[in-house]
Amino acid sequence: MSTITQTVGAPDVRAEDQLVLDVNGLVVELRTPKGTLRAVDRVSFQAFSGRTIALLGESGCGKSMTAKAIAGLLDPIADVAAGQVRLNGTDLAALTPKERRKFAGPELGIVFQDALTALNPVYTVGTQLGEAFRIHHRLSAKAAKVKAVELMRRVGIPEPESRVDSYPHQFSGGMRQRVLIAMAVALNPRLLIADEPTTALDVTVQAQIMALLRDLRTETHMAVVLITHDLALVAEEADTVAVMYAGKVVETGPVREVFAEPHHPYTRGLLDSVPANIGRGEDLKSIAGSPPELHNIPVGCVYQSRCPLVQDICRTVSPPLEPSGAGRTVACHFSKELENA
Amino acid sequence: MPETLLPEPLLEVRQLTKNFHVPGAKGNNTLCALDKIDLHVGRGETLGLVGESGCGKSTLARTLLMLETPDSGSVRFDGVDPFGLKSRDLLAWRRRVQMVFQDPFASLNARMTAGEIVSEPWATHRDLYPTKAARQARLSELFTLVGLRPGDAGKSPQEFSGGQRQRIGIARALALNPDVIVLDEPVSALDLSVQAQVLNLLNELQQRLGVAYIFISHDLSVVRHVADRVAVMYLGRIVETGSTEEVFDRPRHPYTAALMSASPQLDVSGLAPRERIILQGEMPSPLDPPSGCRFRTRCWKAQDICATQAPEPRVSLTDPRHISECHFPLEHTDTEPEPLAHAS
């Protein structure tokens, strides 16, 4: 058999979903020669077991910085300045690095975009896959290798017995991404953060990788945080979405409802920019201008310079993220007007 | 092929083949990057070229720009074979085909100003705008044309945003008034909102200047939006070509169908869960392509004949210009194509 078909976008019904990750008022600041910059500004969202939440936004919006802050992988110049990151009820930001490794190591897996730079070129794939077992389960190198082969089989890498001794450069892009996913799920984490996991891959390989992530989620009931700029990927893979712009969450809610009827003008602008939504040759409704630079974030609403609904209040008062219907929040002074626009 | 009734296309490629020699490769060391490619582009038309990494689309683009020499086959541009041209004629020809690159951060020299970058082609093609005043005037005109302020010509590329940089790249391509521009993934490095601005600009320029585009992209929704016709490539061959509507709504080659099915869609209606074809395995090495049909190792319709005989080009019954290479092409009995996603 060379092909399988899979149903995507079908509504799934599940029993109760548990809160796995609770991010509350997270602030990440960067110390730069230009002063302290706020890359992530009071970001809050939750991830539930067996569900996928997407952090959606364009480059520089702070989505990857949020992921790094959750995983404790911030660069030395970046600090968590405020807020809590609770994983299964424990605030990760309050732990020492050693406590954090011990607690969060097995509970939190992360998959990065660029699998070639994320893997160490001088160790075999098997050594890197077995590391988690050696450190957290104190297995011998030999036992860890057996586990590595098992993992490779689980993520669909053909001939794992012979390929376990290969080096990352001997794998194709798609297979490397499978290795990375295998590393992330090695200890059956409760939370998987996938940061642009398929951006570097071809579309047919992307489909394979997303199918694998979906299967693993179903199998282990882990919570998934999918970080992406791709609206269509969000529409097909995520249950809920948090739309980010210039370091802030501007809108959250169930994907279907947010995309069908956005409450924030930025979300609306993004949806209108997708070429699939308009006839050929017709002009796309692009968003004028570009996002503000971090050292130049305006007072008031972050979207004011590009917003068609902008009024005086937007230039002075930053709109808080407030409930706007069942399971939805929005940060806009004029979200009601958007419905009529 | 039943193309003879049409006026002669601007660019016509027949049976174009390009092999690379790969030293040190085990066994066979000839990599067939392009295998008997046939395609044509009309004046003012956009041909979308889609396919995954390593399928040969960039080699094809480079060959059309004469940056590679084909091993066999012919290229005719406005009735002449550019590979037969010498010195002055060749220089004059080069003007007519230009290129826009993918990464606007890597393709602009950081040590030159935006104005110097856009006017550099005139250093080679001196007779085009011989006086300094003419060059200055044309430079301002080009900046205005692509939506940049002429006053910003003295700035260096780093001072521009990604979208503006791509506008500089487009202005540079337009500087020699070409008939064809090869756009190699021109918007894939840009954010969605900026991508829409650049796509709108390209559309507007085509309508104003009548320039033809060869638009290479892996993003099918972008290609569907911009292209008049589409060619789908797999392992060095064009496996399907036809009008954009035909190929997208009634794909005949299983690879085209799989490619389309694999790209996520922004369908928020939530009414119709869709069956997705997930191809197994990966694209075989071009050093060792499968016998017969190149797609057979991943094809769910493959039979014995696919391993022994390469499929001949076949014409679709519904549209004679819709051609695919498959022994068992997909038939579309339903006249109603799948509805497009609408967000609003």
DSSP string, B279-315: E-S-PPPTTSPPSSSTTGGG-TT--HHHHHSPPPPEE
Q: Tell me, what's the pLDDT at B309? A: 94
Report how far residue B87's alpha carbon sits from residue B78's, in angstroms, rounded to the nearest whole number.
Answer: 18
Report how far residue A289's alpha carbon sits from residue A273's, in angstroms, rounded to the nearest whole number.
Answer: 13
Report how far residue B284's alpha carbon sits from residue B260's, in angstroms, rounded to the nearest whole number.
Answer: 20
Report how far residue A301's alpha carbon sits from residue A299's, in angstroms, rounded to the nearest whole number.
Answer: 7
Q: Helices marked H in chain A — which ranges? A: 63-71, 97-107, 115-118, 125-136, 141-154, 160-163, 173-185, 203-220, 231-237, 255-260, 265-273, 335-340
- B296 to chain A: closest CA residue: A2
- Rounded to the nearest 10°, the torsion over CA B24, B27, B29, B34 is -140
Could you say which residues from 316 to 335 on chain A have a Cβ atom under 8 Å away from some Cβ of chain B? none
Whether A196 has a pLDDT exceeding 90, the answer reads: yes
Of B194, B263, B340, the CB nearest to A290: B194
Query: Residues 6 or more apart from B21 whose CB is under 8 A from it?
Result: B29, B30, B31
Contacts of A318-327 with CB under 8 Å at 24 or more apart are A321/A44, A321/A248, A321/A249, A321/A250, A321/A252, A324/A253, A324/A263, A325/A253, A325/A257, A325/A263, A327/A240, A327/A253, A327/A254, A327/A257
Question: Between chains, do B225 and A255 touch, taking CB under 8 Å as contact?
Answer: no
Structural tokens at position A84:
């809590």
In this prediction, residues B213-242 reach a mean pLDDT of 94
Q: What is the dihedral sign for C-alpha A48, A50, A56, A59?
A: positive
User: Which residues is B99 bridged to in the sheet?
Assistant: B182
Higher pLDDT, residue A323 or B338:
A323
CB atoms within 10 A of CB A222: 25
Q: What's the mean per-residue pLDDT of chain B? A: 89
pLDDT band at B33 (very low <50, low <70, confident <90, very high): very high
Whether B342 has a pLDDT exceeding 70, the answer reads: no
pLDDT tens profile A288-333: 888 888 888 899 999 999 999 999 999 999 999 999 988 999 999 9
Residue to substitute from A250, A284, A338, A340, interface B, most B β-carbons within 10 A = A284
Q: Tell me, what's the pLDDT at B338? A: 45
Question: Between chains, do B258 and A206 touch, taking CB under 8 Å as contact?
Answer: no
Question: Between chains, do B273 and A9 touch, taking CB under 8 Å as contact?
Answer: yes
Question: Between chains, do A284 and B199 touch, taking CB under 8 Å as contact?
Answer: yes
Q: Tell me, what's the pLDDT at A6? A: 55
Diameter of chain B measured on Cα atoms = 68
Structural tokens at position B264:
């996520």
Interior angle at CA A99, CA A95 and CA A105, nearest 5: 110
Nearest-CA neighbor of A269 among B162, B265, B196, B147? B196
pLDDT tens profile A134-185: 999 999 999 999 999 999 999 999 899 999 999 999 998 889 999 999 999 9
Closest-CA distance, B301 to chain A, in angstroms, reads 9
Q: Tell me, what's the pLDDT at A9? A: 46
pLDDT band at B336 (very low <50, low <70, confident <90, very high): very low
Residue to substitute from B191, B203, B269, B328, interface A, most A β-carbons within 10 A = B191
Q: What are phi and psi of B41, to 5 degrees?
A: -135, 130
Q: Tell me, what's the pLDDT at B271? A: 47
In this prediction, residues B318-334 reach a mean pLDDT of 87
Question: Between chains, do B262 and A275 touch, taking CB under 8 Å as contact?
Answer: no
Interior angle at CA B142, CA B63 and CA B127, nearest 5: 65
Closest-CA distance, B65 to chain A, in angstroms, reads 25
Question: Between chains, do B266 and A277 touch, taking CB under 8 Å as contact?
Answer: yes
Q: Tell me, what's the pLDDT at B337? A: 44
Q: Which residue has the tokens 């501007």?
A: A250
Question: How many contiguous H segments (helices) and E segments (strands) does chain A have?
Answer: 12, 13
Which residues in chain B touch residue A273, judged by CB atoms under 8 angstroms apart? 192-193, 195-196
pLDDT band at B30 (very low <50, low <70, confident <90, very high): confident
Which residues in chain A touch residue B270, judged by CB atoms under 8 angstroms apart? 9, 11, 256
Q: Tell me, what's the pLDDT at A115? A: 77
Helix (H) or strand (E) holding A90: strand A90-91
Closest-CA distance, A105 to chain B, in angstroms, reads 32
Report how far residue B108's alpha carbon sits from residue B101's, in angstroms, rounded to the nearest whole number.
Answer: 9
Residue B56 Rama label (left phi>0; alpha psi -120 to 50; beta)? left
Q: Is B81 exposed, middle or buried (0-12, 13-18, 19+ CB in 10 A)?
A: exposed
In this prediction, residues B63-69 reach a mean pLDDT of 92
Which residues in chain B touch residue A272, judged by CB atoms under 8 angstroms apart? 196, 343-344
pLDDT tens profile A211-262: 999 999 999 999 999 999 999 999 999 999 999 999 999 999 999 999 999 9
Whether A4 has a pLDDT exceeding 70, the answer reads: no
Which residues in chain B touch residue A6, judged by CB atoms under 8 angstroms apart? 275-276, 278
Whether A1 has a pLDDT exceeding 70, the answer reads: no
Tell me whether A7 touches chain B (CB under 8 Å): yes
Residue to substitute from A116, A274, A287, A340, interface B, most B β-carbons within 10 A = A274
In this prediction, residues B198-206 reach a mean pLDDT of 95
Query: Residues 6 or more apart from A24 whose CB is under 8 A from it?
Result: A44, A83, A84, A85, A86
Helical axes A141-154 vs A173-185, angle rounded to 10°: 120
Question: Between chains, do B192 and A274 touch, taking CB under 8 Å as contact?
Answer: yes
Question: Between chains, do A284 and B343 touch, taking CB under 8 Å as contact?
Answer: no
Residue A281 Rama label (left phi>0; alpha psi -120 to 50; beta)? left
In this prediction, residues B278-300 reach a mean pLDDT of 90
Q: Tell me, what's the pLDDT at A11? A: 41
Looking at this protein, which amino acid is placed at residue B226?
Answer: V
Whether A127 has a pLDDT exceeding 50, the answer reads: yes
Of B162, B226, B342, the CB nearest to A277: B342
Structural tokens at position A132:
């988690």
Of A204, A278, A281, the CB nearest to B52: A204
Q: What's the mean per-residue pLDDT of chain A? A: 90
Question: Between chains, do B226 and A280 touch, taking CB under 8 Å as contact?
Answer: yes
Tell me whether A211 touches chain B (CB under 8 Å): yes
Structural tokens at position A241:
């979405």
Report how far residue A173's alpha carbon sits from residue A65's, in angstroms, rounded to the nearest whole number.
Answer: 24
Nearest-CA neighbor of A55 among A318, A294, A338, A252? A252
Tell me whether A207 touches chain B (CB under 8 Å): yes
Give the whole-number percent of chain A exceeding pLDDT 70: 93
Residue A142 DSSP symbol: H
Structural tokens at position A192:
């998987």
The predicted complex's ipTM stands at: 0.82
pLDDT band at B248 (very low <50, low <70, confident <90, very high): very high
Q: Tell me, yes or no, if the pTM score tops 0.95.
A: no
User: Which residues is A226 bridged to in the sheet?
Assistant: A54, A194
Residue B231 contacts residue B238 (beta carbons within 8 Å): yes
Query: Residues 6 or more apart from B342 whose CB is under 8 A from it?
Result: A277, B269
Q: Tell me, what's the pLDDT at A321? A: 94
Report how far residue A78's alpha carbon sits from residue A317's, in angstroms, rounded to the nearest whole number.
Answer: 27
Residue B261 contacts residue A272 (beta carbons within 8 Å): no
Q: Which residue has the tokens 């997303």?
A: A210
pLDDT band at A12 (very low <50, low <70, confident <90, very high): very low
pLDDT tens profile A263-279: 999 999 999 998 876 66
Of A7, A204, A276, the CB nearest to B279: A204
pLDDT band at B164 (very low <50, low <70, confident <90, very high): very high
Q: Tell me, what's the pLDDT at A277? A: 65
Structural tokens at position A120:
């160490």
